[in-house]
Structure 1
Amino acid sequence: MALTPELREAYSRHLTHERNLSANSVRAYLADLESLLLHINQLGITEFSQLGLNHIRSWLANLQSKGAARSSVTRRVVSIRAFTYWGARNGWLPTDIGRELVAPKPERHLPDVLDVESATLALEALHVRSTEEQSPESIRDLAIVETLYASGIRVSELTGLDLLDLDRERQTLRVVGKGNKERIVPIGNPAMRAIENWLTSGRPHLLSEESGSALFLGSRGKRIDARVVRTIVNEAMSALGNNRRLSPHGLRHSAATHLLEGGADLRTVQEILGHSSLSTT
C-alpha cells in the first residue's frame, strides 16, 4: 500500500482548502500518512479495507520505541485521525477507525524545588537588599517572596489579596482560590513581619487613586500583576547563582515540599494549597 499520486492530491487539496492548514502542516500530515503506510506494508497489509485500529496502534508504539516524544506521538494521533475521518467520508476507508484513537496524556513536568538552605539564602539576600535600599519596591519584594514561600499560595491568589484578607492577630490570609473557594492560610512570623514592614514603610509610598484595597501594589500604585510577581521571584533566585531560575509555581511546590519534610501531614498541606485532590498535592 502506498500514498498514490491520486490520494496525495485529493488529501492535500482537503487539508489546504477545507482545513485551511499551512503548507508546513500539510507536509507534516502527508509525511505522517506515508510513515503509517510504510509501517503497515511491513505488516503485510496491502489494502485500505484491511487497515485496523491495531495496525495504527502498532505504528504509534513503534514510533515511541524509537524515542518519539509523547507530544510528537500526540500530534501524529491528531494527524491520522484527520486522515481516517476524511478517508471514510470520501471512500478511501470503509469506516473511520481513527475515531477510537486516544492521544497519550501530556507529560507533567514537576517544577524545580529549592532545598531549605537555598530558600533561606534567597530570602536572606532579599532581607539585605531591603535593609540597604529601604525602597518601597525592595520592601514589597521581600514581603511577596516571604508570603509565597510561607503560604504556598498561587500567584493569582497573591495578586488578588486585599488588606482585609490579612488577619494580623492570627497571622493568616483569607485566600480566594480556584472555583471562587475561600480558605484560611497561615503565614508565620517571618512573612508577617515582612508584610507589616511593607504596610508601614512601603505601601504608603506607592499609594495612588487606583490602589483601592489591594494588599500588594505595583510601582505605579495599581494592584500588582502576575507578570511583576514572576519577575520578583526570578530576581530573588539570582542570589543562588548559576543562572538559577524559579517560577512562583516552583516556589509554591518548594513550600509544600518543605512542609511535608517538616512533618506536616498530606491532608493539611492539601488544604493549605487549596487542592481538591490529594493526588494533585
Structure 2
Amino acid sequence: MSRTGVTDETAADQVTRFLDHLTVERGAAANTVSSYRRDLGRYEQYLTSRGIDDLSSVTENDVREFLVDLRRGDPDAGWVPLADSSIARSLVAVRGLHKFAAAEGLVAADVAHAVRPPRPARRLPKSLPVDEVVAILESAGAADHPRALRDRALLELLYSCGARISEATALDVDDIDAETRAVRLSGKGGKERVVPVGGPAVEALEAYLVRGRPALVSRANPALFLNARGGRLSRQSAWQVLSDAAQRAGLDKTVSPHTLRHSFATHLLDGGADVRVVQELLGHASVTTTQVYTLVTVNTMREVYATAHPRAR
C-alpha cells in the first residue's frame, strides 16, 4: 500500500497504464507514445533517485525539481542538459501522467497541473564591433555602379539610424531630408518617427539618388530603393545585399539586417547614449524592450574589466 493508501501500484505501473490509455483509448500515434515513453522513463528514474516509488507520494516541488534536473543534466545518470523546448515537451508528458492518475483515482490530487515550463533563457542580441560594420559598409559600394550605389546607401542607412529592414524598404524618396539629415520611418502599427541620419549615410544616399537611382527607375515610382526592374526593393533582396557585403568583407558569421540594428543600439549605449533616447530611435514602445541592449554593454564592460584590471581575478 502506498503512503496515502490510494493504490498499491508503483510509479512504473502507473506510467504503463497511462501509456496504454494513450494507445488504446485515445488512439495516439506511435511516435507520440514513443516520445511520452522516453520522457516518462526519465521521470521514473528521477523519482526512483529521490526514493519515490508511486505517484501518490509526488509533490508539486518534486515536479519542479525534475525540470531543474533536466536543464542541469546528470552525468552520473547519463543525462545531458536539455534545451527549453525539450523540457517543455517532457513537462507535457509528466502533466498528462498526473492528470490521468488523478482522473483514474490512482492519486488523491493532480500535483503537476500548476507547474509551467521554465522561461527560455534570454538571448542577448548579436552585435558587431565597429570595425566589422565599417568593413561591411565599405564592401557594399566598391564599384561606381547603380546597384552598388544603392547597396551602399541601403546599408549605411540601416546602420546609421537603426531602421528595421521593413522600414528601410518601405521608404519613399520624400521620406529623406538631406538638408536636416533626417529620415521619416514608419514603424510597427503604422507609428511614424523621425530620426537623424549620419553624414556618411547622407553622402551615400545623395550619390545613389544622383548617379544610381535614375539608372534603375523605369516608371514613376516613389520608392527610395529600387530593384533592377525599377520596382521597390523587397526585404528578401535587401537581406541578400547585406549577406553578400558581409561575405565580401570576409566575415565568417551570419549577418542579418537586424544585426546592424543591434549594432546601432549597442554602439550608441557604449558611447554613453541614454537608454530612453535609444528607445525613441529604435521605435520601441517600451523602454523595457531596449534595456536588453544594456545587458550587452554590461557584459562587454565585464570582459574589459577582467582582462585589463590588475586585480580583477
Q: How many residues are aligned here?
A: 272
Q: Aligned to 1:45, what secondary structure does the other structure show?
A: coil
Match of 2:86 in 1: 72
1:247 to 242, 256, 274: 256
Residue 162 of structure 1 and its aligned partner are, at CA, apart by 2.0
Distance in structure 2 (CA, Å) of the matches to 1:156 and 1:101: 39
Residue 93 of structure 1 and its aligned partner are, at CA, apart by 4.5
Q: CA RMSD in A?
A: 2.3
Structure 1 contact 173–186 (Cα < 8 Å) conserved: yes
Distance in structure 2 (CA, Å) of the matches to 1:24 and 1:245: 34
Regions of 4+ moved over 6 Å: none
Structure 2 contact 161–281 (Cα < 8 Å) conserved: yes
Residue 90 of structure 1 and its aligned partner are, at CA, apart by 4.6
Distance in structure 1 (CA, Å) of the matches to 2:191 and 2:119: 28
The answer to whether residue 193 in structure 2 is matched with residue 183 in structure 1 is yes
Match of 1:50 in 2: 57
Residue 154 of structure 1 and its aligned partner are, at CA, apart by 0.9
Q: Look up the equivalent residue of 2:20 and give its one-letter code.
A: E
Structure 1 contact 238–245 (Cα < 8 Å) conserved: no
The answer to whether residue 51 in structure 2 is matched with residue 41 in structure 1 is no
Superposed, 1:76-95 pairs within 5 Å as 76-95=90-109
Residue 255 of structure 1 and its aligned partner are, at CA, apart by 1.1
Match of 2:306 in 1: none
Percent identity between the two aligned chains? 38
Residue 277 of structure 1 and its aligned partner are, at CA, apart by 2.7
The answer to whether residue 162 in structure 2 is matched with residue 152 in structure 1 is yes
The answer to whether residue 265 in structure 2 is matched with residue 256 in structure 1 is yes
1:103 to 117, 125, 134: 117
Structure 2 contact 19–33 (Cα < 8 Å) conserved: no
**Residue-by-residue CA offset, 1:218-257 (whole Å, 9 max, x unaligned):** 2333222221121111111123325233111111111112
**Residue-by-residue CA offset, 1:52-81 (whole Å, 9 max, x unaligned):** 211211211222221323332222223323
The answer to whether residue 137 in structure 2 is matched with residue 123 in structure 1 is yes
Q: Look up the equivalent residue of 1:40 and give its one-letter code.
A: L
Structure 1's 3 and 15: CA in aligned 2 closer, same or farther, altered over 3 A?
Answer: farther
Distance in structure 2 (CA, Å) of the matches to 1:183 and 1:58: 47
Structure 1's 248 and 13: CA in aligned 2 closer, same or farther, altered over 3 A?
Answer: farther
Residue 12 of structure 1 and its aligned partner are, at CA, apart by 3.1
**Gapped runs of 5+ residues in structure 2?**
1-9, 74-80, 291-313
Distance in structure 1 (CA, Å) of the matches to 2:106 and 2:215: 71
Residue 152 of structure 1 and its aligned partner are, at CA, apart by 0.6
Structure 1's 162 and 9: CA in aligned 2 closer, same or farther, altered over 3 A?
Answer: same
The answer to whether residue 239 in structure 2 is matched with residue 193 in structure 1 is no
**Residue-by-residue CA offset, 1:170-220 (whole Å, 9 max, x unaligned):** 1111111123221111112111121222222222333345x7422212233
**Residue-by-residue CA offset, 1:110-131 (whole Å, 9 max, x unaligned):** 34322112222222222323x2
**Residue-by-residue CA offset, 1:138-180 (whole Å, 9 max, x unaligned):** 1111111000010111112112222222222211111111232
Residue 16 of structure 1 and its aligned partner are, at CA, apart by 4.3
Distance in structure 2 (CA, Å) of the matches to 1:186 and 1:165: 12
Q: What's the TM-score, normalizing by structure 1?
A: 0.86
**Residue-by-residue CA offset, 1:70-98 (whole Å, 9 max, x unaligned):** 33222222332333344444544544433
1:28 to 30, 35, 57: 35
Distance in structure 2 (CA, Å) of the matches to 1:208 and 1:81: 62
Distance in structure 2 (CA, Å) of the matches to 1:158 and 1:90: 59
Structure 1's 9 and 206: CA in aligned 2 closer, same or farther, altered over 3 A?
Answer: same
Distance in structure 1 (CA, Å) of the matches to 2:96 and 2:227: 48
Q: Look up the equivalent residue of 1:121 and give its one-letter code.
A: A
Structure 2 contact 175–184 (Cα < 8 Å) conserved: yes
Larger deviation, residues 6-15 vs 192-201: 6-15
Match of 1:12 in 2: 23
Q: Look up the equivalent residue of 1:152 and give its one-letter code.
A: G
Distance in structure 2 (CA, Å) of the matches to 1:203 and 1:173: 18
**Gapped runs of 5+ residues in structure 1?**
none
Structure 1's 248 and 30: CA in aligned 2 closer, same or farther, altered over 3 A?
Answer: same
